[in-house]
Structure 1
């Protein structure tokens, strides 16, 4: 008996289930057996490409029909179900609209998957930076004129990748950016992973599908009631070669695509097209009330925009971004779980993010509002220094793929000045990579990193127990 393998993952997941916490994080089904009774169908419907079941990689029957239905719902030319998360969908989309060696314009605070796609496709990035709003210590949108300038200065750029909305729900002016991109005769790809629900209400920001993008990626599992790892690729214009897309889809998708994920994409879309629309309207009204109530509390601030910040074209408030005076976001996130059994999506130095979906109930909203009011009343104030996170501009020495595939070594951060980084280094906030593989670690960047660490900022990508090592090219 002592040789029987232990199952720590199963034990932890059972504990999570029994904990019965309130979920204000991904996935959008919020850990509820909703839409269909999954327990009745799993594992019986976890199948393979048997007779009549079609094949996701070359759909000709039920899956083809389902994807065509989804395209009608979202208003795209063609929609493809992704089963490798939006990470896989981003690999497919970027490989479709470029060829190895191409130059692409990338929003610098894009998701890690876009950087991975640069490496996989050996692309050469040019960066456009989002605004960092210093009044609120939050990343906001892109200036359309920055996109215009980058495309004017680099006419050989083939495609533009923007993130819309960002993690906090901030939306740049996608229509204007699309016009600029198309004026330069380039292709616009939008990572709308955080915005699939926006297609289902005119009270939310416009979806990039209607906003002029050529290819749009959705994470169905983030804000729709779908299983983790489900995603959609929407083709919205003739600038995207559908044959090439199907080819790249085959390259990056498992040959054993999950029927559970395929089905989850279908039923989440069908739900949102029906009952989900009313539920979303109810949610939006409810969230407005929640924000109003929280903002009445002198210690609580919910970020809903800034009239002086012209990079905020619109804001999706189903992502409730909250700051409590004298409490770091990271501490607030821990308090909510420890004292109130509420799990939220993320936190940084200043903020905590409450991610909602149509599945969250009246009771759950009441639970979190009461908890936040309670914390605001009882929790002691901590002195939080305002930290200037203005970033030095990096020096690009080689493209990310070159650095990634080069010989690497791990060295002390203190000895790294003048060397080329081989892994991304990302401080939170602002969540923009300070360094991307292939960029030089300068004296200025080194000092900036030390300053951020001394002020308690979280830095992703540094190694070692004290985060005092870095990976560089040999």
Structure 2
């Protein structure tokens, strides 16, 4: 049998790694759903309903999810949160209209501007220079922008961030609604928040208008299964449904929809109590790691709240970058994390992780603390935000011919792709923006600091070929 993909997946499975990465089921099954897959992998026949015209069991399942989250309406997305983001934005903002988005948002949000031919305005997150991490969006800055630009139709906020940082979403919702605008929240990493009062408030409870969730990231549903929640009468449900249908397959997966159905049933029966136990395990883990030499956890700040299911580990005091720590945990301890950057390694915990999982991670970190040299890693970094001049809109730049150019020769040219240093993960330049001398010099500083930069090709930048 020549099946290289299956072979690779089974080889990973055979390693029996402790999974601190997506999806939220962590390789563990609920209700033996896996055994049902051949039986439930069907199409639109009598009794199975139709996602694009739900009147039966799919409609009933979506209503149940809506009731669980306390929203007015819920749509299932089998094309992931990406499809939900596309639908939410293009149903709220028409071609040629304006939107305000978080500069460090997911790429799908930028892509929605291309698809919908929407004019983008940006708001930047705060940067914590002490901890080398992006933090919150200031509601006052949103208020100032909306006061100055009456043409903005909607605001898109990421909540919580990839690393678990939560802006004051309730105040942001109040500010956006004061200006009679629509608040869209990318809650890809927050589908679990509604199930515990020990976690930050959910965007649904905070009053956002449209919430898009990657259920599969933090709850036990299958990859690519997501939900879109409607939470106010500001939303045109008919147009949103039309866009959801447009961005989803006409052959939607009943396996994915069933996994959403099952995840909801699990959470309101067994999962909610299990989540409380997992949160206690995390507290115990955090307390123990606090006593390890050379290893620290980022646990938020008094200025904002933090989702503790995101374990953000720093080992630079041991001379280890985040990527070094991730590799050591994988190769020497069979622990697979979600991601890493220059400073941090991220372990994502879900309701399906166990005390044994967290104990194994703690013992690994303890061993690393005892065995690695205590030589602080000195990382040269110069994190600041330049605000480039927009020459043309993102969607216009996307459709232009492009070429790669040396950095020094690209001064004054127009970028045709994103340039994103990580960290901090915010585009220095977006398509359609001018590559000034200051921006080119800023990019060089990231290169000199050995910071990974997405969008460069052998230190060449993509520009519009005039």
* Residue among 372, 378, 383 paired with 1:379: 372
- Structure 1's unaligned 5+ residue stretches are none
- Deviations along 1:191-217, one digit per CA (max 9) or x if unpaired, are 011000000001100001010100001
Give distance in 2, aligned partners of 1:86 and 1:259: 17
**Count of matched residue positions in the alignment of Structure 1 and Structure 2:** 463
Q: How do residues 312-327 of structure 1 correspond to structure 2 at under 5 angstroms?
A: 312=304, 314-324=305-315, 325=317, 326-327=319-320
Q: 1:327: how far off? A: 1.1
- Deviations along 1:14-57, one digit per CA (max 9) or x if unpaired, are 1111111110000000112x112234212221110011100011
The equivalent of 1:84 in structure 2 is 79
SS of equivalent to 1:343:
strand
CA RMSD of aligned residues (A): 1.2
User: 1:275/1:302 Cα in 2 relative to 1: closer, same or farther (>3 Å)?
Assistant: same
1:391 to 2:382 alignment:
no
* Residue among 446, 454, 459 paired with 1:467: 459
Give distance in 1, aligned partners of 2:69 and 2:465: 44
Q: How do residues 163-178 of structure 1 correspond to structure 2 at under 5 angstroms?
A: 163-178=158-173
The equivalent of 2:330 in structure 1 is 337
1:8 to 2:1 alignment:
no
- Deviations along 1:165-197, one digit per CA (max 9) or x if unpaired, are 001111111111111101111100000110000
Give distance in 1, aligned partners of 2:101 and 2:12: 38
1:235 to 2:215 alignment:
no
1:412 to 2:406 alignment:
yes
- Deviations along 1:44-103, one digit per CA (max 9) or x if unpaired, are 211100111000111010000110010000000001111011011100111111111110
SS of equivalent to 1:175:
helix
CA contact (8 A) 2:285 2:362 kept: yes
Q: 1:412: how far off? A: 2.3
* Residue among 412, 429, 435 paired with 2:429: 435
The equivalent of 2:13 in structure 1 is 17
Q: 1:273: how far off? A: 1.4
The equivalent of 2:157 in structure 1 is 162
CA contact (8 A) 1:89 1:232 kept: yes
Q: 1:473: how far off? A: 4.4
The equivalent of 2:179 in structure 1 is 184
Give distance in 1, aligned partners of 2:260 and 2:456: 36
Give distance in 2, aligned partners of 1:63 and 1:111: 29
SS of equivalent to 2:203:
coil
Q: 1:462: how far off? A: 1.1
Q: How do residues 57-456 of structure 1 correspond to structure 2 at under 5 angstroms?
A: 57-307=52-302, 310=303, 312=304, 314-324=305-315, 325=317, 326-380=319-373, 381=375, 383-456=377-450
Give distance in 2, aligned partners of 1:152 and 1:60: 43
- Deviations along 1:97-146, one digit per CA (max 9) or x if unpaired, are 11111100101111001001011001111111000101111110011111
Q: 1:292: how far off? A: 1.2
CA contact (8 A) 2:389 2:433 kept: yes
- Structure 2's unaligned 5+ residue stretches are none
CA contact (8 A) 1:148 1:180 kept: yes
Give distance in 2, aligned partners of 1:363 and 1:13: 24
Give distance in 2, aligned partners of 1:285 and 1:207: 20
User: 1:46/1:205 Cα in 2 relative to 1: closer, same or farther (>3 Å)?
Assistant: same
CA contact (8 A) 1:421 1:473 kept: no
CA contact (8 A) 1:412 1:470 kept: no
CA contact (8 A) 2:402 2:462 kept: no
CA contact (8 A) 1:80 1:234 kept: yes
Give distance in 1, aligned partners of 2:281 and 2:401: 54
CA contact (8 A) 1:27 1:223 kept: yes
TM-score normalised by length of structure 1: 0.96
Give distance in 2, aligned partners of 1:321 and 1:334: 15
